Structure 1
Amino acid sequence: MARDGARPAYDPAGHDGELRAALQEVRTGRWLSMRTLLERTTHWWQWTQRTQVLAAGAAGTDVIRAWLAEEPDSVPATVMRARVAVERALRAHRERHRRTHELWIEAWDMSQGAARAAPRDPVPWVCLLALAQLDREQSWEEHRAPPPDPTLPPGPWGLLEEAVKRDPHNREAHHRMLQFLYARSASGRPAEAAAFAYLAAEDAPPGSALHVLPLYVRVERYRRDGGREAALDLHWVAEDATREALHAHTAWFQHSAAAERSPLDLNHLAHALWGAHRFADAARVFDAIGPYRTPLPWAYRTAVPGDHAQAAQVFLQARARSRSAAPPTDG
């Protein structure tokens, strides 16, 4: 990829041009492009990623309802209905909306229905995992299953098992488990999440996005410690931080296909390598990112974490610093 100085923009579709086109249609209330795209999606990693992005775009519309009105027996539409219901429940939870519990139960029912309609699909189980974080007290029995390792707490491990049974090393399923563990440790350091991330990375094959999980935990630790007010750059040049960054670069980036890389994973890896002063490696990841920056983790390196303009500036500074220390490559 050419090394240009263009200012990158956030696009949830990233390098997936077909997804971008379908998402634009969804936002205007049209569903035919979404149906066609999902019919052509044959890999579980891509199906999981595309349904997640499309659901975020559809959550503020009635597009899935319109699709089901025309095709009530459509399995993809049934899965998308669950996806959208989960997205709405999670948004309500973040906003502390009074209908959160109602939307949660509705999303759980729809996810169960999607699991019955699509028994080989990991996404309904990913949906159920996503909802587990709302049960912070672990009142539901399925959220108190015994852990697979003594370093981990009871949790929705059965839901994770169902997802990975259908798609081993499913990226989103593991991130949803991380979110559940973060919710458990909302007032403290995410030690349980770190243990889970390391175990998942150890078991992952070369090229798996699970090798990037420890970088997310490190960012979360930094955020909870107060962001740029706590230890500043020393957090990122520590020996274990550098080791995590290099492992993700070697085990994931160097073995993964460009089309399969999540923009969020790429941005976390570039951020970690830049923070560890591994500028030549970071430059190659910045080249892979191209024009599709994500707000996180860059926003956590700003004075105001919610300021996307500042986050973009941090990204540009990190990219420029990394490229200035790396040899040029042909575009």
Structure 2
Amino acid sequence: MREARETAGLQDFAPVYHPAGFDQDLRAVLADVQLGRWLAARDLLARTGGDWALRTSRTQVLAAAAARTDAVEAWLSEEPGSADAVVMRARVAVERALQAHREGKPSLVVLEREAQQACLIAARRVPADPVPWVGLLALAQVDVGLQCPEHWREPWEKMLPAGPWGLLARVGERDPAGNREAFHRMMQFFYACPHTSVADAINFAQWAVSWAPVGSPLRMLPLYAYMESYWRHRQDGSLDPLQHRQWSREPVVHYVRRAFHGWKDRPAPCTSVVDLNYLAHALWAGHQYADAAKVFHVLDRYATRLPWAYVCDDPASAESAVREFVRVRAQCLTTTRSRGAAAPKHRLRFA
């Protein structure tokens, strides 16, 4: 009876969806940006300084909100000499171009050109900052016709596909730790380019894992690539009914374990909530319920639409994705508690 009540309570769990994730300072600032205010964003980026991982994640989230307002334009008008404002203008321009690309808007050509120029201006203004180069790398996925030679360079390793390797190198020169967003932008290029494929993205992700240090967010890359492969097969009707078992088979198991080994069980502000959702799903799908439960504990109430929308009954329904997250979380936590309760209790013996 008690176990049934606990399971029901877990099923009633209400997840939280917020772009700021674990970054509590960003959460407060984001509300201001959404209202068209910029002072708090200026102060936050000034405090962020040269923490490139945190700066990259914060500018990305801020740009997604600011792209729907004139906050950055107002900031530049008031402080035209602000380097952070110039970088944020580039970020917002890239976000608007990507949005136009997703929606198939005719304004894409103009917005893409404006975004490229804004990124180049920011790169000259702040030469040590990787963010403008991350922006240029993000725009590569828009160039499906490969009009820009920079988007089709020879890879660093012979077995890897051609792509915007020069732009990735520019990011790496400034952020040698391995910029999470930059590597995800490379994978998005491989998904979008007519001359590459998801298989190329998988090879790229596996290559990154081969040298990424323990605890690096780059170790999560294969989880995204394998999930994208699953999703595309599901979309085009070629999904093998047993393909979901890939998560409990090699080589996928190997990469899931590599991702889990050294993961941060005390998340930093720049820790990606999406990464942990993908990791929790991969562990659960591979029947590693105890480890998945550990990730769910760290996530607390934070959820993301993906990967759950890719595996739920109705991918187009936000409610269906929520139910899948809640169901999987409940299963992992309940299974772990049940096993703990069933473990034999040993009495202490004194000599």
Query: Following TM superposition, where does structure 1 have runs of at least 4 consecutive aligned residues deviating by more than 4 angstroms?
Result: none
Overall identity of the aligned pairs, in %: 47
Q: How far has the Cα of 1:141 moved from its partner?
A: 1.2
Q: How far has the Cα of 1:177 moved from its partner?
A: 0.4
Q: 1:244 aligns with which of 255, 277, 281?
A: 255
Cα deviations by residue, 1:102-136 (Å, 9 ceiling, x for unpaired): 10000000000010011000000000000011111
Q: How far has the Cα of 1:185 moved from its partner?
A: 4.9
Cα deviations by residue, 1:56-76 (Å, 9 ceiling, x for unpaired): 011110000000010001000
For residue 180 of structure 1, what is the aligned residue in structure 2?
189
For residue 18 of structure 1, what is the aligned residue in structure 2?
25
Secondary structure at the aligned position of 1:133 is classed as helix
Is residue 66 of structure 2 the alignment partner of residue 76 of structure 1?
Answer: no
Deviates more, 1:41-50 or 1:221-230: 221-230
Q: Distance in 2 between matches of 1:7 and 1:271?
A: 18
Q: How far has the Cα of 1:222 moved from its partner?
A: 0.5
In the alignment, structure 1 segments of 5+ residues that lack a partner are none
Cα deviations by residue, 1:251-283 (Å, 9 ceiling, x for unpaired): 4346x7544421010000001001001000000
Query: Counterpart of 1:295 in structure 2: which amino acid?
Result: R
Q: What is the TM-score when the length of structure 1 is the normalising length? A: 0.93
Query: Counterpart of 1:136 in structure 2: which amino acid?
Result: V
For residue 304 of structure 1, what is the aligned residue in structure 2?
314
Are the counterparts in 2 of residues 280 and 327 from structure 1 also a CA contact under 8 Å?
A: no
Are the counterparts in 1 of residues 22 and 271 from structure 2 also a CA contact under 8 Å?
A: no
Q: How far has the Cα of 1:327 moved from its partner?
A: 4.2
For residue 98 of structure 2, what is the aligned residue in structure 1?
90
Q: Distance in 1 between matches of 2:327 and 2:279?
A: 16
For residue 112 of structure 1, what is the aligned residue in structure 2?
120
- Larger-Rg structure: 2
Q: 1:319 aligns with which of 310, 313, 329?
A: 329
Query: Counterpart of 2:181 in structure 1: which amino acid?
Result: E
Secondary structure at the aligned position of 2:336 is classed as coil
Is residue 131 of structure 2 the alignment partner of residue 123 of structure 1?
Answer: yes
Q: How far has the Cα of 1:214 moved from its partner?
A: 0.2
For residue 261 of structure 1, what is the aligned residue in structure 2?
271
For residues 118-267 of structure 1, the aligned pairs below 5 Å read: 118-168=126-176, 169-185=178-194, 189-226=197-234, 230-231=240-241, 233-253=244-264, 257-267=267-277
Secondary structure at the aligned position of 1:40 is classed as helix
Is residue 69 of structure 2 the alignment partner of residue 61 of structure 1?
Answer: yes
Cα deviations by residue, 1:34-66 (Å, 9 ceiling, x for unpaired): 111111103110000000000001111000000
Deviates more, 1:276-285 or 1:5-14: 5-14
Q: Distance in 2 between matches of 1:56 and 1:230?
A: 36
Query: Counterpart of 1:36 in structure 2: which amino acid?
Result: D
Q: What is the TM-score when the length of structure 2 is the normalising length? A: 0.88
Deviates more, 1:107-116 or 1:136-145: 136-145
Query: Counterpart of 1:32 in structure 2: which amino acid?
Result: L
Query: Counterpart of 2:34 in structure 1: which amino acid?
Result: R
Identify if the C-alpha distance between structure 1 residues 303 and 257 changes in structure 2 by more than 3 Å, giving closer, same or farther: closer
Q: How far has the Cα of 1:200 moved from its partner?
A: 0.8
Q: Distance in 2 between matches of 1:185 and 1:285?
A: 36
For residue 30 of structure 1, what is the aligned residue in structure 2?
37
Secondary structure at the aligned position of 2:33 is classed as helix
Cα deviations by residue, 1:76-122 (Å, 9 ceiling, x for unpaired): 00000000000000000000001011100000000000100110000
Are the counterparts in 2 of residues 182 and 193 from structure 1 also a CA contact under 8 Å?
A: yes
In the alignment, structure 2 segments of 5+ residues that lack a partner are 1-6, 341-351
Q: How far has the Cα of 1:142 moved from its partner?
A: 0.8
Q: Distance in 2 between matches of 1:252 and 1:306?
A: 31
Query: Counterpart of 2:215 in structure 1: which amino acid?
Result: G
Are the counterparts in 2 of residues 222 and 235 from structure 1 also a CA contact under 8 Å?
A: no
Q: Give the superposed CA RMSD.
A: 1.9
Q: How far has the Cα of 1:288 moved from its partner?
A: 0.9
Query: How many residues of Structure 1 are paired with residues of Structure 2 in the alignment?
Result: 325
Secondary structure at the aligned position of 1:179 is classed as helix
Are the counterparts in 2 of residues 295 and 311 from structure 1 also a CA contact under 8 Å?
A: yes
Cα deviations by residue, 1:4-36 (Å, 9 ceiling, x for unpaired): 843112100011111011000000011111111
